[in-house]
Amino acid sequence: MGRHYSRAERIADGLVHAIGLALAMGACAALAALALPAADALRMAALVIYAGGLVTMLGCSAAYNLMPEGDWKGIFRRLDHAAIFLMIAGTYTPFTLVAIGGAWGWSLFGVVWAGALAGAMLKLVWPHRFERLSIAVYLLLGWVILLALGPMFANMSLQAIVLLGVGGLLYSLGVLFHLWERLKFQNAVWHAFVLAAAACHYVAVVSEVALAA
């Protein structure tokens, strides 16, 4: 289940989660305010899915990582790991359905969501199996968008593409700290990388999808 964290480490991780949840809820409210005046039904649905995936992931992570040992912690561990898959697919949704669109966008949407739902089910049913494989699948799903580089450059701004790339790199680099369990404050550092990556993707969603309505 992981190593024992000191009180200072738990406080640091708690602060990271509290800041992340507060910022995410405020950011999602701002996203709705920006998109509502002119957004069509597909755009709004994509943004709702994105916001739901982001808040669900951060909420489940906070519940699992800050909860004391006990039966409920094991349950939230399953939810936390499953929610990562939903966040990945949710982040893809506004870009695939709105920014890229067409056959490429819808195909990528289907592939990512199929993989994410299968991964989430795996983590809910067999939470302690295939741990390393799950990390590889997280990364694979996160980077599968590279298959659509051509459609991305044809339909998206360079700014959004760069933000998506930087966010992906931050997530990937953060995984190194997630695995580096001997490092002091390792969990807080890992979750800080998650927040930084999510912030990059949020700015891309705002500029490329919400404000493009």
- Residues forming the annotated binding site for Zn(2+)? 191
Question: Measured between alpha carbons, how far is 199 from 204 in angstroms, rounded to an integer?
Answer: 9
Q: Quick one: which of 48, 83, 67, 71 has its CA closest to 209?
A: 48
Question: Measured between alpha carbons, how far is 42 from 97 in angstroms, rounded to an integer?
Answer: 8
C-beta separation of 87 from 57 below 8 A = yes
Other CB atoms within 10 Å distance of the CB of residue 2: 9
Q: In the 8-state DSSP scheme, what is residue 128?
A: T
- What angle, rounded to 10 degrees, do the helices at 186-205 and 7-35 form? 10
Angle 192-196-199 from CA coordinates, rounded to 5°: 140
Other CB atoms within 10 Å distance of the CB of residue 14: 15
Binding residue ranges: 191
Q: Quick one: which of 19, 12, 24 has its CA closest to 198?
A: 24
- What angle, rounded to 10 degrees, do the helices at 41-66 and 71-94 form? 150
